[in-house]
Amino acid sequence: KADAAQARGEACGPLHGVPLAHKDMYYRAGKISTCGSKIRKDFVAETTSTALQKLEAAGAIYLGGLNMAEFATGPTGHNEHWGRCCNPWNPDYVTGGSSSGSGAATAARAVFGALGSDTGGSIRLPAIMNGLVGLKTTAGLVSRHGLMPLSYTMDTCGPLTRTVRDAARLTGVIAGHDPLDPTTSRRPVPDYEAALDKGIGGVRIGVPRNYYYDIASDEIRTLMTASLEVLSGLGAEIVELEVPDMHEPTHMSNIVFVVEAAAIHEAWMRERPEDYQAQVRARYEPGLYLPAKAYLQALDLRATMLREFAAAVFTKCDLLHTPGMPFAVPRGDESDVGAGKAMPELIANISWCTRAANYLGLPALCVPCGFTANGLPSDFQLMGRPFSESLLFRAGHAYQGATDWHTRTPATPSD
């Protein structure tokens, strides 16, 4: 039908005929949306999410829902109800989560791109582990209407794609104010694609001396240094700096997440606790017992911490460059820890570089920058001021114009 419409000379949108599939928490009226859970295995949505409506209005073809971590909770992508997604580069390794199917399907070239959600790294981690571009959008840039919520104040919507240009196009389509989501911004949406080729001459890129490299492996440090050399060669100014103690916003994000998740899931946890994976239930339950004071303080500190971060970082640079993940992609068997003693440390370490951006509401873009010794890909992360997606895209696109990591596929050698 798309071909016939094009042949007739009909007006075609920016995604005309492009096949996409999305994380199975984006509601589509009349279709089942499992949210990766047993509890919602038969849930039929009555509405279609605003993001899906915008994609279809732009001409995209919807292929279906993609597997995900249960209720968008889990940085590895393990799912006891529907099975673990396998990494296309090597099925023994995880895809990252919680947008695991979005990462696997796009990396395997089954679709050109996919929407995910990001509450603590759930778009960026699958992008990193599958060699993709992943964007965590500024809070309020994209409507969350028609999505199963996880955290009312930290959930964001965004794309996983093969290239930065594709991410810019998808973001431009889905961004903008939505009356059905009062948290969306009324700012005009820039033409992200039009700005891609402006280059990054004179753009200041910050490199943190503290926190982000505290647990980074030597091979990740090497990949980060190489990516910075490329960006410097493109005209960017590399600036070393100190960031605030990022343990604090990360700790605050954990308080906000568990309380809001518990509020959403309280009835099901009381009535159907056995239908949750042990790890997911163990992560939500503390939210039932945290005092309101702790939650309200965490919300109240958000603006202060954002101001402190902006003063320390964005007065010295335009973008902050960090590892996307501090070590190589883990194997499926070694990261299948359930709710055991290893769970807190595993989750904290995988999301070491991603979680604070959700609490602060900042945009962050992950871009492929090479491979680790196990043959799996890795990304660097760029963080910017709120609503600086256009600059993030410019920097990522410039990097991809000078490198070919994004052109590698699981069917081609990684070295």
Q: Is 225 left (phi over 0), alpha (psi -120 to 50) or beta?
A: alpha
How far CA 349 is from CA of 28, 75, 85, in Å, comes to: 34, 10, 21
8 Å CB contact between 153 and 260: yes
8 Å CB contact between 142 and 49: no
The span from the first CA to the last CA of the chain, in angstroms, equals 41
DSSP assignment of 311-369 equals HHHTTT-SEEEEESSSSPPPBTTTT--TTSTTHHHHHHHHTTTTHHHHHHT--EEEEEE
How far CA 117 is from CA of 21, 156, 238, 281, 373, in Å, comes to: 13, 6, 31, 20, 29
Cis ω for the linkage preceding 98 (within 30 of 0): yes
CA distance 330 to 336: 10
Element of type H or E holding 72: none
- Helices 389-402, 218-233: axis angle to 10 degrees equals 90
| Contact partners, residue 140, CB within 8 Å, separation at least 6 | 183, 184, 185, 361
Q: Is 227 among the catalytic positions?
A: no
The catalytic position among 99, 122, 227, 388 is 122
Of 44, 88, 93, the residue nearest 65 (C-alpha): 44
CA distance 252 to 295: 9
Q: Is 23 among the catalytic positions?
A: yes
How far CA 215 is from CA of 211, 212, 218, 241, 350, in Å, comes to: 8, 8, 10, 18, 10
Q: Is 99 among the catalytic positions?
A: no
CA distance 192 to 179: 23
CA distance 380 to 289: 37
The catalytic position among 98, 117, 388, 390 is 98
8 Å CB contact between 377 and 131: yes
Catalytic residue list = 23, 98, 122
